[in-house]
Chains A and B, each alone.
Chain A
Amino acid sequence: MSLDAPPEPDERQDIAAAPPAARTRVLWPVLAFPGTLWLVLLFLVPLYVVLAIVFGQIDPIFRSPVPVWNPVHWNTVQFQDVFSHIIGSDGFFGPALLRTAVYVLSASALCLVIAYPVAYYTARYAGRRRGLLLTLLIAPFWISYMMRMLAWVNLLQNDGLVNRALGLGGLFNVQVDWLNGRGLVVVLGLVYGYVPYMILPLYAGLDRFQPHVLEAARDLGAGRFDTFRRVTLPLSIPAIVAAVLLTCLPMLGDYFTNDLLSASPSTSMVGNLINNSVLTPGQTGQAGAFVLLVLVVSLVPMIIYVRSARSEGVAS
Chain B
Amino acid sequence: MPHSPDDPSDRQPESVGSEGEPARRRPVPIDRRSFMRRAALGAIAGPALLDFLAACSSNNVAGPSGGSTPAGFQIASPDNPVTWPIYKDNKPIKSGLKPQAGSTLRLYNYDDYIGPKVVKEFEKKYDVKVTVSTFNDTDEALTKIRSGKVLYDIYFPSYDQIAKMVTAKLIRPLNHSYIPHQSNLWAEFSNPWYDGEWRYTVPYTVYTTGVGWRSDKIPADIGGMANPYDSLWDPTHKGRVAVIDDWHTAMAMVALRAGITDINTQKAKDLTVIKNQMLDLNAKTNPKVTITMYNDLPAGQLWLAQMWSGDIVNAQYYLPKGTKPDVLAYWFPEDGKGEVDNDLMVILSGGQNPVAAHYFLNHMLDTKNALDNFGYIGYQPPQNALDPAKVVADGYVPKNLESAVVRREWFTAGYRLLELPPAADAAWHAIWQQFKAGG
Chain A residues with a Cβ under 8 A of chain B: 42, 45-50, 53, 57-67, 77, 91-96, 99, 146, 157-159, 177, 179-181, 253, 255-256, 259-260, 262-268, 271-284, 286-288, 291
Closest approach, in angstroms, between the C-beta of A164 and any C-beta of chain B? 13
> Who on chain B is nearest to A149 by CB?
B30
Report chain A residues within 8 Å CB of B436.
Answer: 265, 268, 272, 276
A-B residue pairs in contact (CB < 8 Å), sample of 21: A57-B65, A61-B164, A66-B53, A93-B437, A146-B35, A158-B300, A159-B320, A177-B301, A179-B301, A181-B288, A256-B38, A263-B242, A264-B438, A265-B435, A265-B438, A266-B282, A266-B286, A279-B139, A281-B429, A282-B429, A284-B45
- Let me know if B240 and A177 touch, CB within 8 A: yes
Known A62-B168, A265-B282, A266-B286; 5 more pairs at CB < 8 Å? A61-B168, A67-B49, A259-B30, A266-B282, A271-B38
Which residues of chain B (127-170) have a CB below 8 Å from chain A?
A: 137, 139-140, 142-143, 146, 164, 167-168
User: Which 7 A-B residue pairs are closest in the complex by CB-CB distance?
Assistant: A46-B42, A92-B439, A265-B438, A58-B65, A49-B42, A180-B239, A50-B42
- B56-64, B109-117, B181-189, B264-272 - interface stretch: B56-64
Total number of residue pairs linking A and B with CB closer than 8 Å: 180
A61, A256, A259, A279: which contacts B140 (Cβ < 8 A)?
A: A279
A contact residues around B37 at 8 Å (CB): 275, 278-279
Asked if residues B42 and A92 are in contact (CB atoms below 8 Å), the reply is: no
With contacts A263-B290, A281-B139 taken as known, whether A268 is within 8 angstroms of B43 at the C-beta atoms is no
| Pair B422/A280 contact, Cβ less than 8 Å | no
CB contacts (< 8 Å) of A66 on chain B: these are 49, 52-53, 56, 62
Given that A49-B46, A64-B146, A281-B139 are known contacts, is A146 also in contact with B30, CB under 8 Å in the complex? Answer: yes
Among residues of B, the one whose C-beta sits closest to the C-beta of A180 is: B239
Q: Nearest residue in B to A95 (C-beta to C-beta)? A: B439
User: Is B73 part of the contact surface with A, judged by Cβ < 8 Å?
Assistant: yes
Contact B288 A59 (CB under 8 A): no
Q: Interface code B208-250, partner A: CB below 8 Å = 1, 0 otherwise?
A: 0000000000000000000000000000000110100101000
Which of B42, B61, B140 makes the CB contact (< 8 A) with A47?
B42
Contact A280 B164 (CB under 8 A): no
The chain A residue with its CB closest to the CB of B241 is A180
Inter-chain CA distance A60–B63, complex, in Å, is 7
Query: Is residue B287 contacting chain A, with contact meaning CB distance below 8 A?
Result: yes
**Contacts A59-B56, A93-B439, A265-B282 given: A65-B45 contact, CB under 8 Å?**
yes
- Given A60-B65, A66-B56 in contact, is the A283-B429 Cβ separation under 8 Å? yes
Question: Across the interface, which residues of A come within 8 angstroms of B164, CB to CB?
Answer: 61-62
B299 cross-chain contacts in A, Cβ below 8 A: 157-159
* B62 with A59: CB separation less than 8 A: yes
Q: Are B43 and A61 in contact (CB under 8 A)?
A: no
Given known pairs A46-B43, A49-B45, the reply for A177 and B239 (CB within 8 Å) is: yes
Instruction: Give the chain B neighbours of A272 by CB distance below 8 A.
Output: 436-437
Shortest beta-carbon distance from B167 to chain A in Å? 6
A288 touches which of B41, B137, B168 (Cβ 8 Å): B41
Question: CA–CA, A147 to B42, complex, Å?
Answer: 26
**Cα separation A59 to B66 with both chains bound (whole Å):** 8
> Of the candidates A57, A95, A181, which one forms a contact with B437 in the assembled complex, judged by CB atoms under 8 Å apart?
A95
Contact with A along B296-331 (1 / 0, CB 8 A): 000111000000000000000000100000000000
Kindly list chain B residues whose C-beta atoms are within 8 Å of the C-beta of A181.
239, 286, 288
* B70 x A61 contact (CB < 8 A): yes
Decide: A61 and B426 in contact? CB cutoff 8 A. Answer: no
- The distance from the CB of A46 to the nearest CB of chain B, in whole angstroms, is 3
Give the Cβ gap from A114 to chain B, nearest Cβ, in Å: 25
| Complex alpha-carbon distance, A253 and B397, angstroms | 43
A283 to B300 Cα, complex, angstroms:
35
B433 within 8 A of A: yes
- Alpha-carbon distance between A198 and B399 when the two chains are bound, in angstroms: 55
* Contact assessment for B41 and A92 in the assembled complex, using a CB-CB cutoff below 8 Å: no
Q: Which residues of A contact B49 (CB under 8 A)?
A: 49, 53, 65-67
Q: Tell me if B387 is interfacial: C-beta within 8 Å of chain A.
A: no
CA distance A145 to B43 in the complex (A): 22
Question: A156: nearest residue on chain B (CB-CB)?
Answer: B301
Q: Which residues of B sit under 8 angstroms from A273, Cβ to Cβ? A: 433, 437
Contacts of B35 in A (CB 8 A): 146, 256
Residues of A within 8 A of B301 (CB): 157-158, 177, 179-180
Cβ contacts under 8 Å, B140 to chain A: 279
Cβ B289 vs Cβ A92 within 8 A: no
Known contacts A255-B38, A291-B41; A63/B439 CB under 8 A: no
Q: How far is the CB of A157 from chain B (nearest CB, A)?
A: 6
Q: Could you say which residues of chain A place their CB within 8 Å of the CB of B64?
A: 57-58, 60
CB of B34 closer than 8 Å to a CB of A? yes
CB of A260 within 8 A of CB of B282, answer no
Tell which of A46, A77, A180, A274 touches B240, judged by Cβ atoms closer than 8 Å: A180
Please name the residue on chain B nearest to A273 by beta carbon: B437
CA gap between A260 and B30 in the complex, in Å: 8
Q: From the candidates B56, B66, B439, name the one contacting A96 in the complex (CB within 8 A).
A: B439
A132 vs chain B, min Cβ distance (A): 31
Q: Take A46-B41, A61-B422, A65-B49 as given contacts and tell me if A264 and B287 are in contact as well, using a CB distance cutoff of 8 Å.
A: yes
In the complex, what residues of A have CB within 8 A of residue B282's CB? 265-266
Cα separation A268 to B437 with both chains bound (whole Å) = 6
- Take A64-B52, A256-B34 as given contacts and tell me if A263 and B289 are in contact as well, using a CB distance cutoff of 8 Å: yes
Query: Contact string, B360-401, partner A, CB cutoff 8 A, digits 1/0?
Result: 000000000000000000000000000000000000000000
Contact with A along B404-439 (1 / 0, CB 8 A): 000000000000000000100110010011111111
How near does chain A come to B50, taking the closest CB pair, in angstroms? Answer: 9
Q: Give the distance in Å from the alpha carbon of A158 to the alpha carbon of B323 in the complex.
A: 15
Question: B40 interface residue, CB < 8 Å from A?
Answer: yes
Q: Are A278 and B426 interface neighbours, CB within 8 A?
A: no
Residue A278 contacts which of B41, B242, B434, B435 (CB distance < 8 angstroms)? B41
Indicate if B259 sits at the interface (CB-CB under 8 A). Answer: no
Distance (whole angstroms) from the CB of A12 to the closest CB of chain B: 41
B85 at the interface (CB under 8 A from A): no
Tell me if B29 counts as interface (CB < 8 A to partner A). Answer: yes
Residues of B within 8 A of A278 (CB): 37, 41
In the complex, the answer to whether B70 meets A60 with C-beta atoms within 8 Å is yes
